Amino acid sequence: MWLVECPSFWDQGLVRPLVTESGTVVLRCDSCSAVWPTPADLDEMAWVEPDEPDWLVGAGVHVRPGTIR
């Protein structure tokens, strides 16, 4: 399994890969819930903070609770 510490200075969670409902794999911190659409975004510190009710990460990609694995 691929795990890395969250790169944000305010958090100590682990970043884990998630498969979204659309089949896209994203990276998400298990503590602060920041999402990186690609591994390259993790290196660039380019994260998204998805909000309710749609939890969008990008075009056609969401991380709604109950739809990710």
Residue 38 DSSP code? S
Q: What are the backbone dihedrals phi and psi of residue 13, each rounded to the nearest 5 degrees, phi first?
A: -75, 180
Predicted confidence at residue 54, as pLDDT, reads 87
pTM as predicted: 0.80
In this predicted structure, the answer to whether residue 8 has a pLDDT above a threshold of 80 is: no
Helix (H, G, I), strand (E, B) or coil at 40: helix
Predicted confidence at residue 10, as pLDDT, reads 66
**What is the Cα–Cα distance from 46 to 63, expressed in whole angstroms?**
17
The amino acid at residue 68 is: I
- How confident is the model over 27-58, as pLDDT tens digits? 999 888 889 998 888 888 788 999 888 898 88
**What is the Cα–Cα distance from 47 to 43, expressed in whole angstroms?**
10
- How confident is the model over 9-34, as pLDDT tens digits? 667 889 999 898 889 999 999 888 88
